[in-house]
């Protein structure tokens, strides 16, 4: 299954193309998202941000919290 990572323009991961490029990034997901458990400590050094809704996840991204 294909997955995507979105970021804000100018973020440290803007334009990155590999999982290894995400090392150190704080990723986010909606609670219950099928991929929520895919965030592995060896790929991202910070715990993922978890939001109750997709709208809250988008707001966290806009606030540069994830």
Least confident of 2-6, 31-35, 44-48: 44-48
42-66 pLDDT, tens digit each: 544 455 677 888 888 888 888 888 8
Q: Looking at residues 27-41, what average pLDDT do you find?
A: 60
pLDDT tens-digit map of 20-31: 998 888 888 777
| Residue 63, C-beta contacts closer than 8 angstroms, at least 6 positions apart | none
**Ordered DSSP codes for 1-64:** --------TT-TTTT--SGGGGTT---EEETT-TTGGG--TTT-SSPPEEESSHHHHHHHHHTT
């Amino acid at each position: 299954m294909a997955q995507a990572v979105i970021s804000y323009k100018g973020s440290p991961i803007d334009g990155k193309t590999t999982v290894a490029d995400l090392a150190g990034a704080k990723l986010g997901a909606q609670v219950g998202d099928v991929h929520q458990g895919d965030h592995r400590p060896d790929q991202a050094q910070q715990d993922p941000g978890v939001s109750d809704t997709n709208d809250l996840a988008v707001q966290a991204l806009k606030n540069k919290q994830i």
